[in-house]
C-alpha cells in the first residue's frame, strides 16, 4: 500500500532543510529546486525562483508544480524524476537533461540527484534539480581553490573550467591541449582532495565554500513570450 503523501509535512521539512543549509542553497551559482515525485516544488533557492519567474522554458504553475514549456521535455523530466526518486533507498541514480528556452538563449542544463527527506520517522523520496544557465557568467578563483582545497595550479584551472561553464571532460581536455585521460585523472585527484564522492557532491562543496566562487548577479526581467 502506498502511503499518503502529506505535502504540508514535506514543505515544513524542506523549509527546515533550506534554512539549515542556506549558505549552500541560497548562495549557489546554480538554480536549486527540490521536488517530489509529482514535480511539486518543496523548496527553491533565489536563483531558481528568478529563473522560473522569467518563464523562459521553465516555470511553476498555480499548484506549485515544476513545469517545462516543451511537452516532450516535460515528459522526459517526469520519467527521470520517477526513476530517480524510486532509487533513493536502493542504488541511487542520477540523471541529466537539457531544457529548451522560449528565447534564443542556450538551453538550460539540468542535473537530477536523489534526496531522502526524513520527517517524523517517515522518509520522503525527493529529487534535487540543479539548473545551470549557460548565459550567466561565472568566475571561480583559482587561487582560492588552491588555498582552500590544496589543489595544484593546473587542478584549480580544470576545476574552474568545470564550475564556470559546465564543460565536460573532453571539451576541457581539448581547450587545454591535453588528453581526456589526463583531465579525468586530475578530476579524480580533485575529488579526493576536496572530499567529494561524485561530481554533484564536488559542485555542492565548491559552490558552498565562501570566497571560492563569485555568485552571479541575476537581473529579474519580464516573462519571456513563448515561441509560436
Q: How far is the C-alpha of 124 from the C-alpha of 211, rounded, in Å?
A: 34
* Distance from chain centroid for Cα 72: 21
Q: What is the pTM of this model?
A: 0.61
pLDDT on residue 3: 38
**What CATH number labels 7-132?**
3.30.450.20
pLDDT on residue 177: 93
For the chain of 228 residues, list the mean pLDDT of each consecutive stretch of 10. 43 47 55 90 86 94 94 96 78 83 92 79 82 75 86 92 79 92 95 88 76 54 51
- The CATH class that applies to domain 139-214 reads mainly alpha
**What grid cell was written down for 113?**
540527484
Domain boundaries in the chain? 7-132, 139-214
Contact 113, 130 (CB under 8 A): yes
Amino acid at each position: 500500500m502506498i502511503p499518503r503523501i502529506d505535502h504540508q509535512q514535506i514543505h515544513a521539512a524542506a523549509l527546515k532543510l533550506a534554512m539549515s543549509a542556506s549558505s549552500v542553497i541560497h548562495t549557489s551559482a546554480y538554480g536549486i529546486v527540490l521536488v517530489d515525485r509529482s514535480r511539486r516544488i518543496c523548496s527553491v533557492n533565489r536563483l531558481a525562483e528568478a529563473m522560473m519567474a522569467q518563464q523562459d522554458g521553465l516555470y511553476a504553475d498555480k499548484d506549485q508544480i515544476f513545469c517545462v514549456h516543451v511537452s516532450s521535455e516535460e515528459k522526459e523530466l517526469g520519467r527521470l524524476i520517477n526513476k530517480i526518486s524510486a532509487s533513493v533507498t536502493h542504488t541511487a541514480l542520477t540523471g541529466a537533461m537539457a531544457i529548451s528556452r522560449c528565447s534564443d538563449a542556450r538551453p538550460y542544463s539540468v542535473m537530477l540527484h536523489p534526496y531522502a527527506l526524513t520527517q517524523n520517522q517517515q522518509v520522503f523520496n525527493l529529487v534535487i534539480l540543479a539548473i545551470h544557465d549557460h548565459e550567466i557568467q561565472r568566475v571561480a578563483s583559482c587561487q582560492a581553490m588552491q588555498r582552500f582545497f590544496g589543489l595544484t595550479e593546473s587542478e584549480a584551472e580544470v576545476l574552474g573550467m568545470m564550475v564556470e561553464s559546465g564543460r565536460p571532460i573532453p571539451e576541457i581536455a581539448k581547450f587545454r591541449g591535453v588528453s581526456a585521460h589526463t583531465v579525468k585523472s586530475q578530476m579524480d585527484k580533485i575529488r579526493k582532495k576536496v572530499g567529494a564522492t561524485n561530481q554533484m557532491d564536488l559542485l555542492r562543496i565548491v559552490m558552498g565554500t565562501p570566497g571560492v566562487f563569485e555568485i552571479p548577479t541575476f537581473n529579474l526581467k519580464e516573462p519571456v513570450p513563448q515561441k509560436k
